[in-house]
Chains A and B, each alone.
Chain A
Amino acid sequence: MITLTHYLILSGILFSLGIIGVLRRKNLLMLFFSTEILLNAVNVGFVAVSKYYGDLSGQFFALFIISIAASEVAVGLGLLVLWYKRSGTIDLDSLQMMKG
């Protein structure tokens, strides 16, 4: 029998995969991919909780998360393209203007 715990563990594994990606990736595009993984990991968790507790709220959250992910991609990719045109690279280390 697959229980909620299984789903949550899966969600956790996916989340940590996402975090690994976020942390180790220097390529901005790949970084975006990793954030998608993070969002999806959370979505799985929400939906699973929703199912096992018979409450639809989790699904709505997942829904809104998806829409946020979509907007994020739209804006983020736009900025990325812009940056690439400026500097010719999408390496994270090239973004050092905030150095204090």
Chain B
Amino acid sequence: MEKYLYVALFAPLAGALFSLLFTAQKKNVITALVTSGLLLISFVSSLTLMFAVHDGLTLHVKMMGWISAGNLSLPYGFIVDNVSVVMMVTVTLVSAVVNIYSMGYMMHDKSYNRFFTYISMFVFSMLILVMSDNFVGLFIGWEGVGLCSYLLIGFWYEKESASWAGNEAFIMNRVADLGMLMGLFLIYWQFGTFSYDEIFAHVGSVNTGIVTTIGLLLFVGAMGKSAQFPFHTWLADAMEGPTPVSALIHAATMVTAGVYLVIRASDLFSLVPEVGHIIATLGAFVAVFAASMALVHRDLKKIIAYSTLSQLGYMFVAAGLGAYWIALFHLMTHAFFKSLLFLGAGNIMHAMDDELDIKKMGGLFKVMPYTAILMAIASVALCGVYPFAGFFSKDAILASAFNGGNFYIWFTLFIGAGMTAFYSFRLIMLVFFGDKVYKKLGFHPHETYPFVLWALLPLGILSTIAGFFEHPFEEFVTKVLDKYEFSMAHSTEIGLIFLTSAFVIIVIVATIYKYAKGGFSKQLETMPLYLLLKNQYYIPKIYEEVIFKPYYALSKFAWKQIDVRIIDFTVDLIAKTLYKTGQESRKMQSGNLSDMLRWMVVGIVVLLALAIFYRPMM
């Protein structure tokens, strides 16, 4: 079985290295085919491993040593268990789909080969992240996906905003990574190792305060990667990247790494419920916070990005409340429908010549029916309508919030679900139905290549049916993760499900009705609340004014004033003083003998005085 592990892990790397050779050359379809093939191989291997794991296997390999210093001995170790294999399958599946999809999407791009290099590199990093058996291995993947995200956001580097967004993503992630790094250091000095098994075996015997600190620090890292408040701004800006990237990295896989981290370290987090509570609260906050921004945005991709954020909040709620398998389940279903949504958006963008403003679209259903259907499936799945995938995972999260007695969290999530329904169908209505605004603006949209649509089909199917695997899934992953017991009555549960579903469906119907009638009036757009939401609560602006600009000013000050004016000036002053002294005392050397005689006598007097008054210490 080990060879499947290595194949799954290294096939994407091989693909990346292969297409790396072509990066400097003209577009070459071979790179896309080879990388897609290798990703499929990786997917198949992962699937094979999943079946093997299902039969009770847990693979744990140590490939080779990496770092050893002092008491630290850190090998490259990989583990395939019930949790990581789920992630592997999800990641390789979505990435294979995205890779095939990109063959159509990137068809006319001049950096075609480079794109596939990056995608394969990303998958490799992501697999390291999920498969590592220790925290530093996870950190390698963690930073690796960060790098690929940076490269892919800034893929069209000639666009100023793209490279800026890339920098923002990388740097913000770094800020959070620092927290995670500190967590790792604390782990090391507590346990003397980074390996999951050993840490989780001993975590019970360690002071709770330290476990809390570790948990919080790790969660800071997770916040950065999963773009939780206050690190959320990068995710919306990351939409500068090509759309398949947004689908793969910024919806399905990388941003969920934070959730994965919490799930992976569930043995640690379950010891400190207070931290879990913080996580859940923050998750609930972000769920509504992000959804509220999605309500008014006009940018097609940013709406989906905020939706992603909001869904990540849901996952954190589940993970924070100890319902780890539910979080993982939502992570998986979300990966399917959200990437589908993004890829559909990619089709629209292509059709609309990269126009993103949804107010300029409308009535596209006629031109691109298949895309519309797929996106509609994804949207209902996102909203959580029976029998689509989101229904099962999202309801389980709501139920777990209610079950834990955290009613305010439950209520927040409930509101969030309504918002989700609204913005999803606002998008669908504005893009696919209503007036054909695009005609006035001179766009000529068209449906995309058939093979692209075929590639989306698996995601569409999975978004529809994945929910029915809830119980097998639970059984599968709770072999490793803690079980989550619902203590409330079954009738309450059913009642809740009905309540939520009804609410969601009412919102959907109301939205459809409202937009079919022509939408909201323009006056609404001048309301302060609207402006607040539209400007993303002014947070990017605040960051700009409070962090970026002062930092730059301070840096300039440090250089121009402190470094040049003070430190270097002092150094030069010493040198100049010596030089000036020489220059001045040169005048003593006037050549006049009587002056010299006088100096000589001065010297004699000084020496005599020294001889008399100086008493050596010894």
* Alpha-carbon separation in the docked complex, A62 to B369 (Å): 127
Q: How far is the CB of A89 from chain B (nearest CB, A)?
A: 13
Partner of B590, one of A19, A26, A99: A99
Partner of A23, one of B586, B589, B591, B601: B601
Using CB atoms, name the residue of chain B closest to A95.
B593
Known: A22-B601, A26-B594, A92-B592. 6 other contacts (CB 8 A): A19-B601, A22-B597, A97-B591, A99-B590, A100-B586, A100-B590
Partner of A92, one of B590, B594, B601: B594
Interface residues of B (CB under 8 A from A): 586, 589-594, 597-598, 601
Q: Are B594 and A93 in contact (CB under 8 A)?
A: yes
Give every chain B residue within 8 A of A22 (Cβ-Cβ).
597, 601
Q: Are A23 and B590 in contact (CB under 8 A)?
A: no
Give every chain A residue within 8 A of B591 (Cβ-Cβ).
95-100
Q: Give the 7 A-B CB pairs with smallest separation, nearest first.
A: A99-B591, A100-B589, A98-B591, A96-B591, A92-B594, A92-B593, A95-B593
Interface mask (A18-35 → B, CB under 8 Å = 1, otherwise 0): 010011001000000000
Known: A19-B601, A22-B597, A23-B598. A93 touches B592 (CB 8 A): yes
Give every chain A residue within 8 A of B601 (Cβ-Cβ).
19, 22-23
Give every chain B residue within 8 A of A98 (Cβ-Cβ).
589, 591
* Alpha-carbon separation in the docked complex, A41 to B183 (Å): 86
Q: How far is the CB of A4 from chain B (nearest CB, A)?
A: 19
Q: Are A96 and B594 in contact (CB under 8 A)?
A: no
Q: Are B594 and A23 in contact (CB under 8 A)?
A: yes
Q: Are B589 and A99 in contact (CB under 8 A)?
A: yes
Give every chain A residue within 8 A of B592 (Cβ-Cβ).
92-93, 95-96, 99
Q: How far is the CB of A21 from chain B (nearest CB, A)?
A: 11
Give every chain B residue within 8 A of A97 (Cβ-Cβ).
591
Give every chain A residue within 8 A of B593 (Cβ-Cβ).
92, 95
Q: How far is the CB of A38 from chain B (nearest CB, A)?
A: 11
Give every chain A residue within 8 A of B594 (Cβ-Cβ).
23, 26, 92-93
A-B contact count (CB 8 A): 30
Give every chain B residue within 8 A of A93 (Cβ-Cβ).
592, 594
* Alpha-carbon separation in the docked complex, A60 to B598 (Å): 30
* Alpha-carbon separation in the docked complex, A19 to B600 (Å): 11
Give every chain A residue within 8 A of B589 (Cβ-Cβ).
98-100
Using CB atoms, name the residue of chain A closest to B604.
A19
Using CB atoms, name the residue of chain A closest to B598.
A23
Q: How far is the CB of B63 from chain A (nearest CB, A)?
A: 76
* Alpha-carbon separation in the docked complex, A92 to B595 (Å): 10
* Alpha-carbon separation in the docked complex, A23 to B591 (Å): 15
Q: How far is the CB of B584 from chain A (nearest CB, A)?
A: 12
Q: How far is the CB of A36 from chain B (nearest CB, A)?
A: 15
- Interface pairs (14), CB distance under 8 Å: A19-B601, A23-B594, A92-B593, A92-B594, A95-B591, A95-B593, A96-B590, A96-B591, A96-B592, A97-B591, A98-B589, A98-B591, A99-B592, A100-B590
Q: How far is the CB of B570 from chain A (nearest CB, A)?
A: 30
* Alpha-carbon separation in the docked complex, A26 to B597 (Å): 11
* Alpha-carbon separation in the docked complex, A83 to B601 (Å): 25
For chain A, residues 45 to 100, give those with C-beta under 8 angstroms from any C-beta of chain B: 92-93, 95-100
Using CB atoms, name the residue of chain B closest to A24.
B594
Give every chain A residue within 8 A of B598 (Cβ-Cβ).
23
Among B586, B589, B590, B592, which residue has the most Cβ atoms of chain A within 10 A? B592
Give every chain B residue within 8 A of A92 (Cβ-Cβ).
592-594
Using CB atoms, name the residue of chain B closest to A98.
B591
Give every chain A residue within 8 A of B597 (Cβ-Cβ).
22-23
Q: How far is the CB of A8 from chain B (nearest CB, A)?
A: 15
Give every chain A residue within 8 A of B590 (Cβ-Cβ).
96, 99-100
Give every chain B residue within 8 A of A23 (Cβ-Cβ).
594, 597-598, 601
* Alpha-carbon separation in the docked complex, A19 to B603 (Å): 13
Q: How far is the CB of A30 from chain B (nearest CB, A)?
A: 12
Q: How far is the CB of A19 from chain B (nearest CB, A)?
A: 6
* Alpha-carbon separation in the docked complex, A22 to B594 (Å): 8
Q: How far is the CB of A53 from chain B (nearest CB, A)?
A: 21
* Alpha-carbon separation in the docked complex, A98 to B591 (Å): 4
* Alpha-carbon separation in the docked complex, A99 to B601 (Å): 19
* Alpha-carbon separation in the docked complex, A45 to B6 (Å): 103
Among B590, B591, B594, B597, which residue has the most Cβ atoms of chain A within 10 A? B594
Q: How far is the CB of A32 from chain B (nearest CB, A)?
A: 13
* Alpha-carbon separation in the docked complex, A98 to B594 (Å): 12
* Alpha-carbon separation in the docked complex, A22 to B601 (Å): 10
Q: How far is the CB of B596 from chain A (nearest CB, A)?
A: 8
* Alpha-carbon separation in the docked complex, A47 to B594 (Å): 31
Q: How far is the CB of B612 from chain A (nearest CB, A)?
A: 14
* Alpha-carbon separation in the docked complex, A83 to B248 (Å): 101
* Alpha-carbon separation in the docked complex, A95 to B591 (Å): 7
* Alpha-carbon separation in the docked complex, A44 to B598 (Å): 24
* Alpha-carbon separation in the docked complex, A78 to B131 (Å): 102
Give every chain A residue within 8 A of B586 (Cβ-Cβ).
100
* Alpha-carbon separation in the docked complex, A75 to B598 (Å): 23
Give every chain B residue within 8 A of A99 (Cβ-Cβ).
589-592
Q: How far is the CB of A68 from chain B (nearest CB, A)?
A: 18
* Alpha-carbon separation in the docked complex, A90 to B598 (Å): 19
Give every chain B residue within 8 A of A100 (Cβ-Cβ).
586, 589-591
Using CB atoms, name the residue of chain B closest to A25.
B594
* Alpha-carbon separation in the docked complex, A39 to B75 (Å): 89
Q: How far is the CB of B603 from chain A (nearest CB, A)?
A: 13
* Alpha-carbon separation in the docked complex, A92 to B586 (Å): 20
